[in-house]
Amino acid sequence: MEVPVYYCIGNHDLVKGKYGEELFESIYGPVYYSFDAGNTHYIVTPMWGGDYRPGYTKEDVYHWLKNDLAQIPEGKPIVVFNHDYWTSGDRHVFSAGKGMDIDLDAHNLKAWVYGHVHINHITRHGNALAICTSTLARGGIDHATSAFRKIGMDSKGNISSELRYTYIDKSIVIASAQNEQAPVTKDGKLQVSVNTYSTVTQTAKVTYAVYMEDKAVTPQRSMTRQTDFNWTDAVKLPAECEGRTVTLKATATFKNGETARAESFFTYTSTPVEVKTGDNWTNLGGNPQHVAVTKDTLNLPIRLAWVKNMGSNVYMTSPIVVDGKVFAATMDENIQGKSSVTAMDATDGSLCWKYSTRSSVKNTIVSAQGLIFAQDIWGYLYAIDAKSGKLAWEKKLDVAVVPGLEDGLAANETTVFAGARKGLVALDARTGREIWKNSSWSQREGTTCTLSLSPDEDVLIGSVQWGTMYANDARTGKLLWAKSEDGIRFRSSSPSMHDGAMYFLSESSLFVLSEKTGEILAVKKLPFSVEATSSPLVTRGEIIFGTAGEGIVALDRKTLDIKWKYRTGKAMIYTSPYTNGEMAQVESTPVLSGDMVIVGASDGTFYAVNRKNGSLMWRHKTGSPILTTVAVSGKTFFGTDFSGNIYCFKAE
């Protein structure tokens, strides 16, 4: 690219020997140095330790850093790069021992840029940002999206950030017009939703027109950007289009001058699809056991009733349905104030309310006592009135802000279980009163698991990703058992709980454990990775789950032999740890209705397959990765995609 490249040593770069960084320096240059660019001073410092002991000491770095900062004019912005991050407080004080402290904030620190934990995470500490980005080529440790970060600085050192997702080349899909059908609003306007993205450049504009028999029935119309993926509009078609086949043609123009085009035909009707919800869907999989089996039987055909965008991306926060409303939450990887919990009328997608959160909500939200609960990555738990959208109460959980709180919530009728590690708590759902707090286990990397509650509500399952599975007494918080051997420590999957047994995925195996004792009841070694967040769906004859690269897989429930496989398309964005290439990733939990299994995939498609043989029954392409689990209520189900869209599908 003909631009300067500077390197920063990481823990795996420290090879064994009397001078551990010597090999690194012979290839890439010094391990600590500084330079100016624009009006900002940039400093690269080495790690204090790695796989092996370095030749330098923290005292060496202190003296070098003190001398470097002494040459910098007062007030000049500085940015520090280091492979690791070493504070969670509001001050950035470099300390090498007694009497050797440097207050970086006093030197106008603007950002500390680091890696190490392989996550996409930004936090603000005082006046400075701490910025971490996952590997650009593969999924991150906490299933962070494969991405790279573009950071801009103005003349005063103020920072802007944009996360760019890798491997996507001029993608465009008309998400609202699929299967020869498209939704309309209450006043008969055609809903148009387009997902488009290209890694190397931003989308500058999206236009479209509607044609009938090659004749334009609308002029070229410009669409409105909602997120980095999504653009929307609504248009009234002429009466002559009623009941006729029309074609929608969309064009995305990118900032580098390239274009991408898509078209879709459908039978136009000005009458909206009637939607009526049924039972509430209050947790991941419908309940805190994550059973994911519906009472209602959905039949073909399936129609898209409406689609609306929430204005920010959706990670692994699956929608829930309560009293005729659908709720979802968004993230904001660039801390622009866009993360929120949103409530929409389930019948037409009209906005009921939106509650802004301090930072990203990246996992399961739940409902109890007429409240909606969400926790953000900075450790704030919000209890929001489901009807009004007003905050009923909130609690700052006792968790560190790095690497960030990504665990999902669980709730029964009276209690919400939130937090992680020694910040894991059980709270009275109505008042927020603390019932108990975990004191038995701590956590390392960010964890994408959702807490699971046993059917008798006696056992709560928590997790340390790449560590240990823990069972706490759900009524007292007492530790019941812990399990890490036999590959269980590499777990991203949340257990589904059934009659004393719990089913989950870890590394390359399906496990069945006793919820009371942690005893392994069964284990099935698989010839592929299941490092996915998918919870197994247990049916009468199958155990069905998503995988890191083989799509959807079903095992015979009795023999645990592979019964069928349905390979979804190639992932648009890689999230499963250390995966890339031709990987058919499914992070979401399959949901069963009758003999229909509904699941979203990272290729940007909702699927319905037959539970008995895996044959395809229906699909809907969105053009944006789907990392969440659908929610079913009555003859309707709701799904979200990474672009921030909520989809309402009506079945017969």
Cβ-count burial of 99 within 10 angstroms (0-12 exposed, 13-18 middle, 19+ buried)? exposed
pLDDT score for 584: 98
User: Is residue 419 within 8 Å of 395, Cβ to Cβ?
Assistant: no
pLDDT for the residue numbered 21:
84
**pLDDT tens figures, 23-75:** 899 999 999 999 999 899 999 998 877 888 888 889 999 999 999 999 999 99
Within 10 angstroms of residue 146's Cβ, the number of other Cβ atoms is 22
Cα–Cα separations (whole angstroms), residue 201 to 169, 196, 254, 624: 9, 11, 6, 17
> What's the whole-model pTM score?
0.96
Q: Quote the tokens at residue 101.
A: 């402290």
**Alpha carbon distance 243, 240 (integer Å):** 8
Q: Are 640 and 319 in contact (CB under 8 A)?
A: yes
What are the strands, taking DSSP E only, across 54-189?
Answer: 78-81, 93-95, 101-103, 109-114, 121-125, 128-132, 147-153, 159-165, 171-174
Letter for the amino acid at 469? M
DSSP state, 67? H
111 touches 159 (CB < 8 A): yes
Predicted pLDDT at 630: 98
Q: How far apart are CA 317 and CA 629, in angstroms?
A: 8
pLDDT of residue 490: 82
Half-sphere exposure of 298 (CA within 13 A, CB side): 29
User: Coil, strand or helix: which one is 287?
Assistant: coil
Yes or no: say if 342 and 330 are a contact pair by the CB < 8 Å rule: yes
What backbone phi and psi angles, to 5 degrees, belong to 403?
-85, -5
Give me the count of residues in the chain.
Answer: 652
DSSP string covering 446-474: ---PBPEE-TTS-EEEEE-TTS-EEEEET
Name residues whose C-beta falls within 8 Å of residue 73's C-beta, 6 or more positions apart in sequence: none
Token pair 């698991």 is at which residue?
A: 449
Phi, psi (degrees; rounded to nearest 5) at 12: -80, -10
What are the start-end ranges of the E strands in 347-418? 351-356, 366-368, 371-375, 380-385, 391-396, 410-411, 415-418
Helix (H) or strand (E) holding 66: helix 58-70
pLDDT recorded at residue 293: 97
pLDDT of residue 543: 98
Query: What is the pLDDT, as a whole number, of residue 174?
Result: 98
Intra-chain end-to-end CA distance of the chain, in Å: 55
DSSP assignments along 357-369, one per residue: -SS---S--EEET
Q: Which pLDDT score, from 0 to 100, does residue 511 have? A: 97
CA distance 598 to 229: 24
Positive or negative torsion for Cα 284, 290, 295, 301: positive
> Running along the chain, 652 residues long, what does each successive block of 10 average in pLDDT?
87 84 90 93 89 89 96 95 82 89 94 90 87 90 92 88 95 98 96 98 98 95 98 97 97 98 97 96 98 95 98 98 98 93 98 97 97 96 98 94 89 96 95 97 82 97 89 97 89 93 96 96 97 96 98 98 98 95 97 97 98 98 98 97 98 95
